[in-house]
Homo-oligomer: A and B are copies of this chain.
Amino acid sequence: MTDVNNTQTVSQFPCDNCLRSGRCLGSVVVKAGADHQRASEVTVVQLQRGQPLFRTGDAANAVYVVQSGALKARRTSYEGDEEILAFRLPGDAIGLDALGQRMQNTEAVALCSTRVCRVPLEALHRELRSSPEVSEMLFDDVGREFERLHEHLQTERRPAQARIAAFLLAQLKRRQRLFGAQIDRFTLPMTRVDLGRYLALATETVSRMFTRLQQDGVISCDGNAVQVLKATALEAMAGAGAEERAPALAKAA
Contacts and interface: CB of A to CB of B under 8 A. Distances in A.
A141 B97 CA distance: 10
A10 interface: no
A149 B83 CA distance: 13
Interface string A131-170: 0100110011111111101101110111000000000000
B154 A77 contact: yes
Given A105-B147, A144-B100, A241-B79, A156 B153 contact: yes
A27 to B, nearest CB: 17
A105 B241 contact: no
B100 A139 contact: yes
B99 A142 contact: yes
Contacts of A145: 146
Contacts of A106: 150
Given A128-B128, A132-B125, A78 B154 contact: yes
Interface residues of A, number: 41
Contact of A150 (B105, B140, B147): B105
A99 B157 contact: no
Instruction: Give this chain's copy count.
Output: 2
Task: Summarize A's interface: helix, strand, loop or mixed.
Answer: helix
A143 B100 CA distance: 5
Contact of A75 (B105, B139, B154, B158): B154
A135 B144 contact: no
A35 B97 CA distance: 30
Contacts of A147: 97, 101, 105
6 contacts: A77-B157, A83-B153, A99-B139, A100-B136, A125-B132, A142-B142
Given A129-B135, A142-B142, A146-B146, 10 more contacts: A78-B158, A78-B240, A85-B153, A98-B143, A99-B140, A100-B143, A105-B147, A106-B150, A145-B146, A156-B156
Interface of A: 75, 77-79, 83, 85, 96-101, 105-106, 125, 128-129, 132, 135-136, 139-147, 149-150, 152-154, 156-158, 200, 239-241
